[in-house]
Amino acid sequence: MVRLFGPLVGLFFAVALLWSFGNGAYNAVTQPSPPTAEALFHKHPKEVAFSFDGAFGTFDKAQLQRGFKVYQEVCSNCHSLKQVAFRDLTQLGYNEAEVKAIAKNWGNKAQTFDPKTGDRGDRPNLPSDHFPPVYYAGQGNPPDLSLVAKSRHGGAQYIHSLLTGYTDQVGYKNGQGQELLKMFPDAKTPDGLYFNPYFANLNLAMPQPLTSDGQVTYSDGKAATVDQMALDVSAFLTWTAEPKLDKRKQTGWPVLGFLLAATVLAYLAKRNVWADKH
């Protein structure tokens, strides 16, 4: 009897499993889940062109210097850049004297520790030092920006969209907006947070950092509009995340050429070796 009922029990569970899977798939197709607040209000990054886009793109050093100035005067108050050393700024076109001055005059100093006495202190930064961490006194823990361009989908376009995407939720003031708020009360921005449709959950703790044109003065005479400052700092943060981007592209094309030539030679060698075998 056991041998008779064993296969029947297994068949029963297999049929039940198949029915459950089919029923779930049918419901998913015919009865889609209700939309979420993120699905209704969240926006994809804006389409913005940068000089380093594409297989032949390269960094614009003038833009990178402007972006560093925006980071230095606006972003560095809250966000660290601890994966980057001061001496790396020579890649942006700064000379050694300028790098030494930037390191020495940086707001946060390098921390020191004497293992013999246990004393802690500080000293002026050196070009060989990494940018010191930022000790934020407010709520939350602002992320380090060293690799933010690689850790966020959209990279530079996402950063630019986020910096220029703050809004007061004007659409919520009309009748349709009020109805949406009734449906999705979690979409309403809580006190102490700021609405930004380019942020994943719509509300973030960072207030709008770039608030007005001319907030930063560019030494090259470029007009420092909010959009331009956002573009420049987005390019700079792309460089901090991928400082070897130019060299990687320059190396990639010769490597592809070599592989193509090697493939052709291998094919011709194969034809020659097996010519008498056919």
Torsion of CA 89, 90, 95, 100, to 10 degrees: 50
Q: Is 222 exposed, middle or buried (0-12, 13-18, 19+ CB in 10 A)?
A: middle
The response to whether 44 counts as a known ligand-binding position is no
Alpha carbons within 13 angstroms on the beta-carbon side of residue 123 total 8
The response to whether 206 counts as a known ligand-binding position is yes
Max alpha carbon distance in the chain (Å)?
A: 92
The rounded radius of gyration (Å) of the Cα atoms in the chain is 28
Place of tokens 């006495």: 117
The answer to whether 216 and 74 are in contact (CB under 8 A) is: yes
The response to whether 78 counts as a known ligand-binding position is yes
Q: Is 273 exposed, middle or buried (0-12, 13-18, 19+ CB in 10 A)?
A: exposed
Alpha carbons within 13 angstroms on the beta-carbon side of residue 188 total 13
Which residues define the annotated binding site for heme c? 75, 78-79, 206
Which residues define the annotated binding site? 75, 78-79, 206
